[in-house]
Structure formats: structure tokens, C-alpha cells
Amino acid sequence: MTRIGIAFNLKPEPLTTPIGATLASAGETADPIQRDEEPPSNEAARVLSTRERSAVIGQPDGAVLVEEVSADDEFAEWDTAETIDAVADALGAYGTVIQLEATAEFPERLRTERPDIVFNMAEGSGGKNREAHVPAICEFFGVPYTGSDPLTLSLCLDKSRTKEILSHYGVATPSFTVVESADAVTDRWPSLRYPLFVKPIHEGSSKGITERNLCQTPADLGAQVDFLLETYAQAVLIEEYLPGAEFTCAVLGNGQTARVLPIVGMDFDALPDGALPVYGFEAKWLWDRPDAPLRIFDCPAAIPDSLRRTIESTTLRAYQALGCRDWSRVDVRLDAAGVPNVIEVNPLPGILPNPADNSCFPKAARVAGISYQALIQTCLTLAAERQGVRLRRVRA
Ligand SMILES: Nc1ncnc2c1ncn2[C@@H]1O[C@H](COP(=O)(O)OP(=O)(O)O)[C@@H](O)[C@H]1O
Ligand SMILES: [Mg+2]
């Protein structure tokens, strides 16, 4: 019987004390946010870290005040037992599943268990190469694994390196620069056209991305870059703001047979009146609540065929340029001329199993007629074919 490892980071148990947020300027009190609830389209917990608290409190009008904060960013993208169990159940159709939590014992367990293949969903812990750790250890021991290799995972976790590669291959992405320290801001962005959008270089799940990141003037820019440098202790990407529609595109497959699943469009009219058309921190964490889910996704996106084809080809070119394998999700937005630009590439896509959680990759798969189980199994079989691992179905 084939032995299939599943490598994951399990999110710690929720705290007993709920994390509360107060929407002070609106004069209303938000429901307490529980750590084990998931935002749409990614698997981050509703954990407000100390850094995010700073980001939220940093709203110019003090709009949002987070009352109590605990936990660490490190866990924000880790998976819940519900997601890990759903993936393990799907993998069980092809053999015995061995749970390999990505703790300090992972290398030794991998060496002794020696599964035939590892399904990698570990977001990793610590540093800008965190997503590359598990695949690198698998390579070290010669164990085949699903998804992108360590190089691609690290590249995609660096928003500027991603854009350098996209630019080299002629894939449209907004003009940009990177600032490492506050002193460097003034002399390195003269050729960029306002408005500009800024973000921490190594984060995901919209950490550090609030409405304040859209900068109309050099004064806005200087202030927000300083704030992000200080709060996130990492370089800041400054790029031209894309004013057009936004999409996220799930890709499944390799080489010539890689295909884009039905495109997910963002309907920014679903955001509160006056909100900027940005899928950032507020949209993912404050305005999307279990009692009032944000109906922001539209799949398949209602767009003309010609635009759909252009978005698909841009997405596939980004996927190939970055060396993605088996699956990835590509964020795309239109520029002022309506040309699709790539914002970022996610080679470890969010895969929440519950349709109510609005996770984009499983949502696109469902629209394509691919169930959650079939999606996970397709990723596994693609990886197996690529690496010459023989798989046989042992149950329906
Ligand atoms: N250059 C840009 N122009 C317009 N909006 C942007 C730009 N970059 C990011 N955004 C907005 O911010 C959101 C989050 O940015 P993204 O780079 O995808 O970060 P994350 O890793 O947190 O998903 C995007 O979904 C988009 O709405
Ligand atoms: Mg994104």
C-alpha cells in the first residue's frame, strides 16, 4: 500500500479569552473575533498580532481600536484540524496517510517513516524562507512531494523578487521599487507615478495592507513607509496603484496541460460605502464576519471572453515564469488601460474545505465541477506523475 505523508503546521488551540475589536468611529462594537474562524480566500486565523494591532491603531482617524490582542503572526497562516483532516481524508483514497507535523521532529520522522510521497501544505515557521523548509527537507531525504520547490516558494514569498522575475519574462506587473530604510525613501521612487501602493515585502493574508497603504502624495508615502518599516521590520515594496478590477486565478497542472480554473472576480461593491476597492486587512478581517459574510467573490467572474482569455494567459505565464508546479493561485488586477497585471503568486494556496468559508481555490474548483476531495487528489496525482511515483486508488 502506498504511504502518503501529509506535512502541515497545525494552528494552536484557540485562546480561552476571545480577541475583541471595537469599531470606535462607527460607534458600534464588533462581535468578539474567535481565533479559529477563517477569513475568506486564505487560511489565516482571525488572530490579530501585536503588529496588526499597530497597523489597525495606525488608521489616521483612529477608526479602529483593537481592545485585546494575543498570539503571534507566526501561526496566522497555519491550518486548523478541520482542514488537515479534510485533506488527509481525500489522500486516504490513494493509500495510508501518515501525519507529519512540521515541528522540530519533522526531519527525523520523515527519515524514519520514508513515505512514498508527501502532500505539502506546511506554511512553515520563522523567516522569509519558511515555506521552503519542508520541501527542502524532502529533497534532502529524496522524498517526492507535492507542489512547488523551495526556490519557487521562497521567491513567491518575496513580492519584489517575484516582480523582478515577472518583469524579466515580460509579464505585466506594476512598476515598483523597494525601500529598506526610511532614509532611502526619497531618492528611489522618482520615476513612479502616483497614486502608489505600499506593502511589507514578505507577508501574506493582507498583513500590513490597510487603506492607508494607498498613497496620493509624497507626504502620505513617507509616513506609511516609515510606519511599515518600523511595524513589520522588513523592506517595503512601493508600486504603482492599479485602479481596475481584481481577480484571483487558480491554476492546476503542469507544463502545457496547466489550466486556469474559473476566474474568481472581486465585487468591491460588497464593501461598506466609501471603502477603497482593495482586498486588504479591513475586508479580510474586519468587514467579513461569520454573522454577516462579505459577498465579495464572483465565480466565474462576469467578464467578456476576450478579457478572460487575456487574464488566463497572463496567469499561466506568471505560473510558468516562477516555476510553479501542480497548483498555485495568482492575484491579478487591471491597470488604467484595462491590461491584466500580476500582483502576487501564491504557490501554497488556501484550501479551506467548508464552502461557507469562501476559500477561493476550492471555490473555483467547485465551479469547474471538481469536488474538494478531487482537488486534493488531483494535486497529489499531478505530483506523483511528475516524479514517477505509482499511485493506485484504494477506495472511492
Ligand atoms: N499595486 C496595487 N494596486 C492596487 N491594489 C493593490 C496593489 N497591490 C495590492 N493591492 C491590493 O491589496 C490586496 C493585497 O495585496 P497582495 O499583494 O495580494 O497581498 P497578500 O499577500 O496580503 O494577499 C490585493 O488583493 C489588492 O486588493
Ligand atoms: Mg493576495
Which pLDDT tens digit goes with each residue over 113-146? 999 999 999 999 888 999 999 999 999 999 999 9
Q: Is the CB of 197 under 6 A from ligand 1?
A: yes
Distance CA 248, CA 237 (A): 20
- Average pLDDT on 103-120 reads 98
Least confident of 7-21, 176-190, 347-361: 7-21
Q: Which ligand is nearest to the CA of 44?
A: 1
Least confident of 99-103, 168-172, 218-222, 281-285: 281-285
pLDDT of residue 15: 52
pLDDT band at 308 (very low <50, low <70, confident <90, very high): very high
Q: Which ligand is nearest to the CA of 204?
A: 1
Q: What is the 3-state secondary structure (H, E, C) of the chain?
A: CCEEEEEECECCCCCCCCECEEECCCCEECCCECCCCCCCCCCCCCCCCHHHHHHHHCCCCCCCEECCCCCCHHHCCCECHHHHHHHHHHHHHHCEEEEEECCCCHHHHHHHHCCCEEEECCCCCCCCCHHHHHHHHHHHHCCCECCCCHHHHHHHCCHHHHHHHHHHCCCCCCCEEEECCHHHHHHHCCCCCCCEEEEECCCCCCCCCCHHHEECCHHHHHHHHHHHHHHHCCCEEEEECCCCCEEEEEEECCHHHCEECCCEEECHHHCCCCCCCCCCHHHHHHCCECCECCCCEECCCCCCHHHHHHHHHHHHHHHHHCCCCCEEEEEEEECCCCCEEEEEEECCCCCCCCHHHCCHHHHHHHHCCCCHHHHHHHHHHHHHHHHCCCCCCCCC
Give me ligand 1 centre to Cα 280, in Å: 7
Of all atoms in ligand 1, which is nearest to the CA of residue 206? Answer: 22
Q: Is the pLDDT reported for residue 315 higher than 50?
A: yes
Phi and psi of 235, rounded to 5°?
A: -60, 160
pLDDT of residue 207: 82
Q: Is the pLDDT reported for residue 147 higher than 80?
A: yes
Which of 278, 282, 297 for mutating ligand 1's site (highest number of atoms within 8 Å of CB)? 278
Contact 331, 342 (CB under 8 A): yes
pLDDT of residue 186: 57
Q: Is the CB of 52 under 6 A from ligand 1?
A: no
Q: Is the pLDDT reported for residue 197 higher than 70?
A: yes
Which of 51, 194, 205, 206 for mutating ligand 1's site (highest number of atoms within 8 Å of CB)? 206
CATH annotation of 175-241: 3.30.1490.20
Q: Whose CA is nearest to atom 1 of ligand 1?
A: 241
Of all atoms in ligand 1, which is nearest to the CA of residue 277? Answer: 27
pTM of the model: 0.87
- Average pLDDT on 174-202 reads 83
- Average pLDDT on 196-209 reads 88
pLDDT band at 206 (very low <50, low <70, confident <90, very high): confident
- Average pLDDT on 192-218 reads 90
Share of the chain above pLDDT 70, in %: 82
Q: Is the CB of 204 under 6 A from ligand 1?
A: yes
pLDDT of residue 189: 59
Of all atoms in ligand 1, which is nearest to the CA of residue 204? Answer: 21
Share of the chain above pLDDT 90, in %: 69
Q: Which ligand is nearest to the CA of 162?
A: 1
In the chain, domain spans: 175-241
Q: CB within 5 A of ion ligand 2: which residues?
A: 331
Q: Which ligand is nearest to the CA of 55?
A: 1
Q: Is the pLDDT reported for residue 56 higher than 50?
A: no
